[in-house]
Structure 1
Amino acid sequence: MRALTGGMLLLATIVAPTVVQAQAAVQPVAVAPAALHAATPEIDAIFTKWMAENHVPGMVYGLVSGGNLVLVKGLGVQDLTTRRPVTPDSLFRIASMTKAFTALSILSLRDKGLLALDDPAEKYVPELRGWTYPTTDSPKITIGDLLHHVGGFVTDDPWGDRQQVLPQEDFTKLLAAGVLFTRAPEMSYEYSNLGFAILGRVIANVTGAPYTDYVGKTLLGPLGMTASGFDVFAHPQDKRAIGYRWENDAWALEPTMKDGAFNAMGGLEVSATDYAKWVGFVLSAWPPRDGADTGPVRRATVRQVAQGLNFQSVNHRPGSSGGAACPGALAYGMGWRVVQDCEFGLTMNHGGGFPGYGSHVLLLPEFGVGLFALTNRTYSGPSPATWDTAALLLAKGLIKRPAVPVSSDLAAFYGLTRTVWAQGGVAPLAGKVAMNFAMDRTEANWTKVLAEAKAKAGTCDTAAPIMPGGALTGAFTWVCSSATVHGELLLAPTRPVTVQALRFAVEGKD
Structure 2
Amino acid sequence: MTNRAAYETVLPYIREWVSYKVWQLRVPGVQVAIGFRGEELFSEAWGWADVEARRPLTTTSIFRIASHSKTFTATALLQLAERGGIRLDDPVGQYVPALVEGGSPIADATIRELMEMGAGVIRDGHDGDHWSQLRPFPDEDELLALVLDRGQKSPAGSSFGYSNLGYALLGLVVQAASGQSYGEFVRSSIIEPLGLTGTGPDWDPTRADEFVVGYSGLHDSRSRHRLAHVDTRAMAAATGFHGTASDLVRYFSAHVLGQGDLLTDHSKRLAQRVAWSPTDTEGTRGYGAGFITDVQGGRAVRGHSGGFPGHITQSWFDPESGLVVSVLTSAAAGPATLIANAVIALLDAAADASAPGTPIPRGVDPQPYTGRFANPWGITDIARVGERLLAIDPTAPAPLEGVTRLEVVDADTLRMTAGPRFGSIDEDVTYDRAPDGSVRSIRGGGGMTESAWSLPEESPETAAALA
TM-score, with structure 1 as normaliser: 0.63
3-state DSSP class of the match of 1:108? helix
Cα deviations by residue, 1:217-262 (Å, 9 ceiling, x for unpaired): 1100100112321343344333211111134211111121124110
1:381 and 1:155 mapped to 2: Cα distance?
Answer: 24
Does the residue aligned with 2:32 lie in a helix, a strand or coil? strand
Alignment partner, residue 246 of structure 1: 217
Partner of 1:143: 111
The structure 2 residue matched to 1:74, chosen from 45, 51, 56, is: 45
Q: Look up the SS of the partner of 1:222 in the other structure.
A: helix
Q: Does 1:271 align with 2:244?
A: yes
Contact kept? 1:164, 1:262, Cα under 8 Å:
no
- Counterparts of 1:60 and 1:310 in 2: how far apart (Å)? 30
1:329 is matched with 284
- The TM-score, its normalising length taken from structure 2, stands at 0.68
1:338 matched to 2:293? The reply is yes
1:37-74 residue CA offsets vs partner (Å, 9 max, x unmatched): 44234313442344345432001001101211111110
Change (3 A) 1:379 1:214: farther
Report which of the two structures shows the higher radius of gyration computed on alpha carbons.
1
Deviation of 1:76 (Å): 0.7
Structure 1 residues 342, 65: closer, same or farther in 2, change over 3 A?
Answer: closer
Count of residues paired in the alignment? 348
The aligned counterpart of 1:116 is 87
Unmatched 5+ stretches in structure 1: 1-28, 288-293, 316-326, 401-510
Letter in 1 for 2:100: R
- The SS at the match of 1:165 is coil
Partner of 1:377: 331
Q: Does 1:366 align with 2:316?
A: no
| Paired residue secondary structure (2:171) | helix
Q: For 1:26-105, list aligned pairs within 5 A.
A: 31-32=4-5, 35-105=6-76
Which among 260, 275, 294 is matched to residue 309 of structure 1?
275
Question: What secondary structure sits across from 1:104 in the alignment?
Answer: helix
155-164 vs 107-116, greater mean Cα deviation: 155-164
Shift of 1:118: 1.2
Aligned 8 A contact 1:78 1:90 in 2: yes
SS at match of 2:75: helix
- Kindly indicate whether the alpha-carbon contact (under 8 Å) linking 1:59 and 1:375 is maintained by their aligned counterparts in 2: yes
Distance 1:53 1:191 in 2: 32
- Asked whether the 8 Å contact 1:336–1:350 carries over to 2, the reply is yes
Greater shift, 389-398 or 334-343, is seen at 334-343
Q: What is the CA–CA distance in structure 1 between the aligned matches of 2:73 and 2:89, rounded to whole Å?
A: 17
Q: Could you list the runs of 4 or more consecutive aligned residues of structure 1 that deviate by over 6 angstroms after TM superposition?
A: none
Distance in 1 separating the partners of 2:112 and 2:269: 16
Deviation at 1:191, TM superposition (A): 0.7
Cα RMSD for the two superposed structures: 2.8
User: After superposition, where does 1:71-470 map in structure 2 within 5 Å?
Assistant: 71-131=42-102, 140-156=108-124, 159=129, 161=131, 165-175=137-147, 177-247=148-218, 248-283=221-256, 285-286=257-258, 295-311=261-277, 313=279, 328-340=283-295, 343-344=298-299, 346-397=300-351
Distance 1:53 1:305, change over 3 A: farther
For 2:297 and 2:25, how far apart are their aligned partners in 1? Answer: 29
Q: Which residues in structure 2 correspond to 1:486-497 (within 5 Å)?
A: none
Amino acid in the other structure paired with 1:148:
E
Q: Give the Cα–Cα distance (whole angstroms) in 1 for the partners of residues 339 and 216 of structure 2.
A: 19
Aligned 8 A contact 1:160 1:193 in 2: no
